[in-house]
Structure formats: structure tokens, C-alpha cells
Amino acid sequence: MKAIKTEEWIPADGFELEDNALLVIKLPDNSLVLAGPGAGKTELLAQKASYLLQTNCCKFPTRILAISFKRDAAFNLKERVKLRCGDELSRRFDSITFDSFAKQILDRFRLALPKDYGISADYEIAMKDNETLTYYQNADPDTNYEVRGAAAPITLKNHTADQLPLDKRGATKKLRYGVWQDMLRATPSQLNFKMIMRLAELIINTNPKIKAYLQETYQYVFLDEFQDATDLQYDFFKSCFLGSGSKYTAVGDDKQRIMLWAGALDAVFDDFMKDTGAIRLPLKMNFRCAPRLVKLLNHLTEHLLGKTDFAIPSPKWNEEEGECFVWVFENPEKETEILFKEIKKWIEFDGLKPRDICILVKQKLENYAGGLIRYFNENGIKARDENAFQDLLTQEISLYIINVFYMIFKKKASDSKAITFSFLSNVFTEFEDEQLLRLEVFFHKFIKQLIKDYPQEELDEAKLKTLVNLIVEFAGRDRIRAFYPAYKNSKYLNGIITELTEKLIESYNLTGTIIGALDQLVGNDTIPVMTVHKSKGLEYHTVIFIGLEDGAFWKFQENPNEDKCTFFVALSRAKERVVFTFSKQRPNQYGRMFNQSITNIQVILTELENSGIVKMEEKSLAE
């Protein structure tokens, strides 16, 4: 593909970028972009990737590495880059999470670990803190290491606080070293993601050739949502890239810093500028939210968060657009019924699609929205806990399987055709154009045969399982594992395929048709319900936040800044309308009803009122 001259490059898809965004895209130095919600930070990274690839500033065959914090953010960025510069160039754009980047290094270079940190090939990932604590309990029975015990948080923090190899001097450090050894030597080895990152870092720090290989591979490194980087992640980034010729672009927003509880580094922006000499540049626009919502966000930026980086709405809006409400309800039942009626109106009369609406909760989704989800589904509006599906549906292998199913069973499936073929041309990466054409013909014959062999009305569990298997084997497990580093570990790949198959069968048994099952699986016509943390980076026409109550913000007095940012993130996901609900009563996790107050978080309510934008309404069924 012929490279575009740098001076002739223009942003893809007609986007008009503000001056600083254009500057960052073309800047050959390290940069840190700080900007509010909807400013186009992720879009800037996508455009910068297109620029570097289309102009060959990222010289073939070197690659761009984009690191995000969540699987769906990494996936969305990859999709945006594909759209902006096409399948072929975007193959040199690796968009992954910090955890999967570390895991890929570990899976690929496991044998380069020093002897006392060696692990078994079939290591298991212990996800629960309890699993790590049990090792401490066994090694030191006199101390209480239960998750809620006093020693637990310190123990867990210390477990991965230091770079490897571990210091063994002193009783506490000796104990920690012993536990690491017990976990590494278990059959199979037991690791958690933080340990994986420390081990990957050890590989890099002790193998100059691997480090050099990594740095030569990635001429450019992007860091999305950088405000949430933890000390461990930042250490890992520095071990991999600092001092290399690679160039870094980090984007973030300190008003959306909601991972301090998980160890996000308070001073990460300053550290990054000091360590890399990055130039700091702001962006001013908010392209997402309607003007009245931008005005509200600006008010809260100043009066709730004590900051001054105000945003300007996009001129595409009419000045009067954007609305925000606080709706007060007697109890959760009334809240559910009234929300149902309102949403039904929006869908039936205003033409909103269920996926234009998002229901958010701060935490404890079942407590705040479990009953609502059940009520909505029983009464004809589909809604579901999206947390359970996000990870599965952002897996390339899942999308490939689902879209081949659509090609077999749906009459018009041109989008599916494009997605599946993009997957196949990735795994048959060495194929020239002519071979790819032959592959396409062969693939269509394969689909035709499946249509013939598996009539819709004769499908059952066993046939669905066979179909999944045939579809995977068409691409070839070995090829899939070779092209997608995340799937190098076959246990992981098989786990995803099994989970997807189970969910497909479950949906099929519920809906009775294969298209119904596929639609249900991907969430077509379904309102997503999720926590604010999961909603980061996403946007919806209408956002409903359930539970603007002291009970939901139970740590507000201890940690007001993080809770204010969480509230700010929720509000800033909405393009046109946002509703906060307050229910005078709310059950706890055991179902016991408690009166709710809005005393501790009064400052939020006060500032919503002071903004002059928000309408407060008592809602009852008679309306």
C-alpha cells in the first residue's frame, strides 16, 4: 500500500480536529493529552494511529501498541482504527489491556524466567483475593488473613508491591517470598494478574534481548485512560519502554479518576512528564454531550470538583438541547414501574432503541437493578446485566463464531460477512490476494454446506456444539493461536469457546430460535445495565443512574473525591438526557428495606440544583 505524504494526510472519515489534537497527531515527541469527557481523546488515538500507519511514519513492519484498562475499551479502539484506516494497515495496531499485554509476554517468554521464578505451562489464574490469602494463612497460621481481617489489605498490597526478584530479608519479606514460591511451585502454578505483571516485568528486566525485541517491535505506544494507571502498571510500562526510541502518547482526565481504590497512582501525570519529557496539551471541546449537559458538566467541574478546565459543546447541537432530571420515588417498586412506563414511551413514541439507553448503578447491581431487570423482561422490554457479557463479546473469537452463525441462519448478513472475513484474513495472514480470493470462495461453499446440513428447525444442543466446532476448525485452532497472541494459551482459548457455546445454548433454549438466540446473546434490542466503572469510555443517548442516595455512596465521607468523580463519569456518558433516581427506601443485599437519605452527598444535589439545568420531580404512578 502506497504511503500518504505527511503534509497531505487529512483526518479520516471527515472528522474536524481541534488544533491541539492535530498537533498531537503529528508530533514526533512524547505527549500527554489531558481533556474532559467526550473531548475525543480516544478518537485522537485512533486518528493518530491512522496517521502513523497511512504515512508510514510508523515504519513497516514496526507496530503501534495501545494499552487500555478494560477489554471493551481496547476492543473499541481497535475497531475505530480498523474503520479509519482499513483492515490491512490496522493489523499493525495492537490494542490490548495492561493485563493481557503482561500475560502475552509471560506466555511467550515463560522459559526465560530465572529458575526460582519459573512457572508451569498450564498455570492457573487465581482471581479471588481469598485464594492468595489462603497461602499466607497456611504459611503463617497464627495470623488472621481472612479477606475482611485487618491483615488482609496490607498483605494483598504488599504481595505485588515490589519488583522481582523479591528481597528475603526480615520476617515479613521472608514470608512473602515463601508464599510466592508456594504459588509458583504449586501444580499447576497459581498466579493472579498482578503476579503475572510482575513476572512479565522480571522477564523484561533480566533479558535484554527480549526487551530490545519489544522496543523494536513497538515504535509507538499509546496509553488510554491514563489517569487510572496503578504503580504496578506504570512500573511495567517503564520496564518495557523507558529509555527506548519508542514514542509515547498518553491521554487521560483527572476528573474521571475512579480507580484510586484499586491503586491508581495519584501523581501519574506528573511522573509521566518527568520520566518521559512529554509535552502536556489540553483539548477544549466536548463532542459527545448536548450543550445544556456540557453547561452542567462545566458547573460541576468548578463547584464540585474544584477544577477550571471547562469544555465547549460541539456546534452541531442546538443550544437548548440536553436535559437532566432527578426523579424521586416512594420505593423501588414504584421506581421500576415508572421508569418502565417512561422508557416504553421513549422507545414507542420517540423512536429510541433499547441500546440507546443505559441504566447505571454505582455498585451492587443486583441490589439496585436486579428487580428492575426482571420486571422489564417480564413486561416486554429486554434488559440485562451487561457486565456478564462485555468480556465475552469483545473477544475476536466470539465475534467470528457469532457472525458465521448469522451468515448461516440469517438471510441478509453483509456486516457479518465483512467481520468474519476480516477475522479469516487475519489468521491466514501469509496469504496473497489471489489465495485470499480462493479462501473466500471456499468459505462460501463451507457456509452453503452448513446451511444444507443444519436446517434451523432441526437444531439442538449437540448440533449447536458441532457447528461451533466446525466453525472454529475452519479457521484452525493453531492458526488462531498463532495470529492472536492472547489465544496462545489454548486453555484460555478453549475456555472462551466453551463459555460462548454454553451461553448460545442457554439463549437458544430460552428463545426457541437460532436468530432469537444470537440476537439475545449480542444484546440487540436489550437495554444494557452496568456499573459506572464498566461504563467508562461508553456513550448513550439517555443514561439513567439508579440510586443517587447516601446508601449507594456509602464511602463518600471517607473518600469524597473518588465518589464525586464516579458521579461525574456517570453523568458524562449521556449525549442528550440523564436521569438520576432517588428512592425513599431501598433494600440491602439481604432484601431488608432501609430508609434512604441524601445528607452525606448533599453537596452533589446542591450543585445539581445550583446549576439551574436540573429538574427535580417527585414521581408517582398517577402521572
Ligand X SMILES: Nc1ncnc2c1ncn2[C@@H]1O[C@H](COP(=O)(O)OP(=O)(O)OP(=O)(O)O)[C@@H](O)[C@H]1O
Min CB(226)–ligand X separation in Å: 11
Nearest alpha carbon to residue 52 among 262, 322, 249, 327:
249
Min CB(11)–ligand X separation in Å: 7
Residue of the chain from 1, 10, 16, 510 that contacts ligand X (CB under 6 A)? 16
Min CB(17)–ligand X separation in Å: 5
Nearer to ligand X, 35 or 614 (CB): 35
Residue 419 CB burial class (10 angstroms; 0-12, 13-18, ≥19): buried
Can residue 38 be called a binding residue for ligand X (CB under 6 A)?
yes
Residue of the chain from 4, 15, 499, 524 that contacts ligand X (CB under 6 A)? 15
Dist. CA 346–CA 327, nearest whole Å: 16
Cβ-proximal residue to ligand X, closest one: 40
Nearer to ligand X, 72 or 107 (CB): 72
Task: Tell me whether residue 523 is annotated as binding.
Answer: no
Min CB(519)–ligand X separation in Å: 24
Nearer to ligand X, 41 or 103 (CB): 41
Neighbours of 441 (CB within 10 A): 9
Quote the DSSP letter at residue 5.
P
Residue of the chain from 288, 533, 564, 577 that contacts ligand X (CB under 6 A)? 288
Min CB(257)–ligand X separation in Å: 11
Residue of the chain from 17, 358, 393, 497 that contacts ligand X (CB under 6 A)? 17
Residue of the chain from 107, 201, 235, 253 that contacts ligand X (CB under 6 A)? 253
What kind and span of H or E run contains 107?
helix 98-109
Min CB(225)–ligand X separation in Å: 7
Choices 9-17, 348-356, 423-431, 542-550 (CB under 6 A): range interacting with ligand X = 9-17
Task: Tell me whether residue 35 is annotated as binding.
Answer: yes
β partners of residue 404: none
Dist. CA 359–CA 554, nearest whole Å: 20
Residue of the chain from 12, 40, 326, 468 that contacts ligand X (CB under 6 A)? 40
**DSSP track, 212-250:** HHHHHHEEEEEESSGGG-BHHHHHHHHHHHTTSS-EEEE
Task: Tell me whether residue 118 is annotated as binding.
Answer: no
Quote the DSSP letter at residue 264.
B
Ranges assigned E (strand) in 386-476: none
Dist. CA 69–CA 233, nearest whole Å: 10
Can residue 607 be called a binding residue for ligand X (CB under 6 A)?
no
Can residue 566 be called a binding residue for ligand X (CB under 6 A)?
no
Min CB(362)–ligand X separation in Å: 18
Dist. CA 42–CA 54, nearest whole Å: 18
Going residue by residue from 524 to 553, which x/- string records binding to ligand X, judged by CB under 6 A? -------------x-x--------------
The single-letter code of the amino acid at 59 is K
Nearer to ligand X, 103 or 288 (CB): 288
The grid coordinates of residue 248 equal 509515547
The single-letter code of the amino acid at 511 is T
Residue of the chain from 34, 43, 507, 578 that contacts ligand X (CB under 6 A)? 43
Nearer to ligand X, 96 or 214 (CB): 96
Task: Tell me whether residue 245 is annotated as binding.
Answer: no
Kindly give, in sequence order, each residue whose CB lies less than 8 Å from that of residue 96, ignoring residues fewer than 6 positions away: 65, 66, 67, 68, 74, 104, 486
Pairing of strands 279-282, 247-252: unpaired
Nearer to ligand X, 38 or 551 (CB): 38
Nearer to ligand X, 126 or 571 (CB): 571
The grid coordinates of residue 457 equal 428447525
Query: Would you give the end-to-end CA distance of the chain in angstroms?
Result: 62
Task: Tell me whether residue 252 is annotated as binding.
Answer: no
Dist. CA 86–CA 70, nearest whole Å: 23
Task: Tell me whether residue 36 is annotated as binding.
Answer: yes
Dist. CA 240–CA 126, nearest whole Å: 25
Nearer to ligand X, 38 or 547 (CB): 38
115-131 burial: b if 16+ Cβ within 10 Å, else e: eebebeeebbbbeebee
Can residue 287 be called a binding residue for ligand X (CB under 6 A)?
yes
DSSP reduced 3-state for 190? strand
Can residue 335 be called a binding residue for ligand X (CB under 6 A)?
no
Residue of the chain from 12, 20, 34, 37 that contacts ligand X (CB under 6 A)? 37
Can residue 255 be called a binding residue for ligand X (CB under 6 A)?
no
Choices 15-23, 351-359, 403-411, 496-504 (CB under 6 A): range interacting with ligand X = 15-23
Q: What angle do CA 343, 376, 394 make, to 5 degrees?
A: 90
Nearer to ligand X, 89 or 570 (CB): 570
**Is the bond preceding residue 560 a cis peptide, omega within 30 degrees?**
no
Nearest alpha carbon to residue 253 among 283, 281, 284, 225:
225
Task: Tell me whether residue 171 is annotated as binding.
Answer: no
Can residue 41 be called a binding residue for ligand X (CB under 6 A)?
yes
Can residue 317 be called a binding residue for ligand X (CB under 6 A)?
no
DSSP reduced 3-state for 313? strand
Per the listing, cell 502536556 goes with: 280
Contact between 514 and 405 under an 8 Å Cβ cutoff? The reply is yes
Can residue 94 be called a binding residue for ligand X (CB under 6 A)?
no
Q: Quickly list H helices, 304-362.
A: 332-348
Task: Tell me whether residue 413 is annotated as binding.
Answer: no
Contact between 581 and 327 under an 8 Å Cβ cutoff? The reply is yes
Choices 12-20, 154-162, 193-201, 410-418 (CB under 6 A): range interacting with ligand X = 12-20
Can residue 322 be called a binding residue for ligand X (CB under 6 A)?
no
- Backbone dihedral angles phi then psi of residue 285, each to the nearest 5 degrees: -80, 160
Count of residues that interact with ligand X, criterion CB under 6 A: 18
Min CB(473)–ligand X separation in Å: 37
DSSP reduced 3-state for 166? coil
Can residue 408 be called a binding residue for ligand X (CB under 6 A)?
no
Choices 36-44, 130-138, 326-334, 366-374 (CB under 6 A): range interacting with ligand X = 36-44
Min CB(258)–ligand X separation in Å: 12
Min CB(227)–ligand X separation in Å: 9
Nearer to ligand X, 310 or 492 (CB): 310
Residue of the chain from 12, 24, 32, 39 that contacts ligand X (CB under 6 A)? 39
Per the listing, cell 448461516 goes with: 408
Can residue 340 be called a binding residue for ligand X (CB under 6 A)?
no
Can residue 42 be called a binding residue for ligand X (CB under 6 A)?
yes
Residue 23 CB burial class (10 angstroms; 0-12, 13-18, ≥19): middle
Dist. CA 67–CA 77, nearest whole Å: 10
Known binding-site residues for ATP equal 35-42
Interacting residues with ligand X (CB under 6 A): 15-17, 35, 37-43, 253, 256, 287-288, 537, 539, 572
